[in-house]
Structure 1
């Protein structure tokens, strides 16, 4: 564990340093010229290099499947969010992604300027439902520019196999934009958890699942979305556990794995 902790510290040192430099470069470009091909190329480099650093320094490999399920044209990509890894892993597959992120991040000098130039949509979570109209206006504009909206329906990172807590934002987007929604399952929290002091080696996976068509009622849509994401994420978690996890497994996490196996199901 000590060696892995040292490897984690080295990763964070390089990751944070590189992110700061890239944010300054992209933020400066954004102030001068807005979005350019150069800024997009730098963003792609940031994501790919971060994943390479993760693999070289911490042993976290990246596997992404199911990109063929992303429809052409505008859509919403709704992903389970267990780790910062999710952002980097999905970025290259989303075409021109417009991530929905909290307003506090957009207020950071350089980083926020860069995020706006890369089509990010801000949401002020402190305002609750009152923030929805502004988010919708930005989402409509992003779809009109040819973006795919990327949202984490639970609003924040969740521990692997944690009980689901879906918010209404994704439902409002679905009803308002009238475009298909692509669910995304992940197991990344098993390796790079939200509050973990150590990043553990293994294979982090994301899987784009078949799109949910537009035009469903709110209740039917949300039920299908939750079932797809939770079942898919549980399947990926069980797959990783069957291969063997190098991280310590708490009694709570072990009980969740045991419950999945005893039920013969991928849903909690």
Structure 2
């Protein structure tokens, strides 16, 4: 029985890789074609690509997605647990036109980087000093004024399910300088998705209680760390 389940997982995963990545090609080409023509249509294509990923996960991998106590509104900094590539792809479908803080090196990828920047990714340059921080905050405030939610992965990288890691120092700085409330979001994608042969099951997003702006660094980090690890098995 165990070998049979492994074989099913392998076959499902291979089918997922083939269908999702092949099917992504038209979305990528459409996004590149539209990003300097129509911002509304460009954002729609990115959102639909994220939706395509969600559909492939459901139909081919048997992965369902559940939301617990979801809260969606602008003017908020969403701090999301990061366990797998799943949630990085899922953000444009989970949120409406989110602005996502991402590693600056991702924006240097030819083609993809320009499209990501156009959509609203904000590069986090950890070695760039005060000038890079000012540029990042200026861009974030511009996006806030557009009524778009902000999303950050405060751990800075993917963390295996069952493990905790101290939040990146830059998270508290961004929280303080933007002066926004934070909604922490736990996610448990790792056991199903962060593996070569993915498994069927349910990935849950659990939205925590809103945390007000203006807290000291130690308190905001402790509260966010506890909340985003709420599903951490």
Partner of residue 14, structure 2: 9
Q: Are the aligned partners of 1:26 and 1:110 in contact in 2 as well (CA < 8 Å)?
A: no
State the superposition RMSD in angstroms: 1.9
Q: Are the aligned partners of 1:48 and 1:88 in contact in 2 as well (CA < 8 Å)?
A: no
TM-score, length of structure 1 as denominator length: 0.78
Q: Return the match for 1:28 from 33, 38, 43.
A: 33
Q: Take 1:93 and 1:9, find their aligned partners in 2: how far apart are those partners?
A: 25
Q: Take 2:199 and 2:55, find their aligned partners in 1: how far apart are those partners?
A: 15
Q: Which runs of 5+ in 1 are unaligned?
A: 238-268
Q: Are the aligned partners of 1:51 and 1:89 in contact in 2 as well (CA < 8 Å)?
A: yes
Partner of residue 3, structure 2: none
Partner of residue 181, structure 1: 182
Q: Take 2:128 and 2:17, find their aligned partners in 1: how far apart are those partners?
A: 32
Q: Which has the higher contact order (CA 8 A, sep 6+)?
A: 2
Q: Take 1:14 and 1:121, find their aligned partners in 2: how far apart are those partners?
A: 29
Q: 1:129: how far off?
A: 4.8
For the pair 1:43 / 2:41, whether they are aligned, the reply is no
Partner of residue 214, structure 1: 213
TM-score, length of structure 2 as denominator length: 0.89
Matches within 5 A, 1:1-268: 1-30=6-35, 32-33=36-37, 35-36=39-40, 38-68=41-71, 70=72, 72-125=73-126, 127=127, 129=129, 131-193=132-194, 196-230=195-229, 232-234=230-232, 237=233
Q: Take 1:199 and 1:28, find their aligned partners in 2: how far apart are those partners?
A: 32
Partner of residue 253, structure 1: none
Q: Take 1:162 and 1:142, find their aligned partners in 2: how far apart are those partners?
A: 33
Q: 1:85: how far off?
A: 1.6
For 2:160, what is the secondary structure of its paired residue?
coil
Q: Are the aligned partners of 1:132 and 1:169 in contact in 2 as well (CA < 8 Å)?
A: no
Q: Which runs of 5+ in 2 are unaligned?
A: 1-5
**1:123-149: CA deviation from partner (whole Å, max 9, x where unpaired):** 234x26554333222212221222211
Q: Take 1:13 and 1:114, find their aligned partners in 2: how far apart are those partners?
A: 23
Q: Are the aligned partners of 2:187 and 2:203 in contact in 1 as well (CA < 8 Å)?
A: yes
Q: Take 1:181 and 1:74, find their aligned partners in 2: how far apart are those partners?
A: 9
For 1:233, what is the secondary structure of its paired residue?
coil
Runs of 4+ in 1 over 6 A off after TM superposition: none
**1:64-94: CA deviation from partner (whole Å, max 9, x where unpaired):** 22223x4x43110000001122134443343
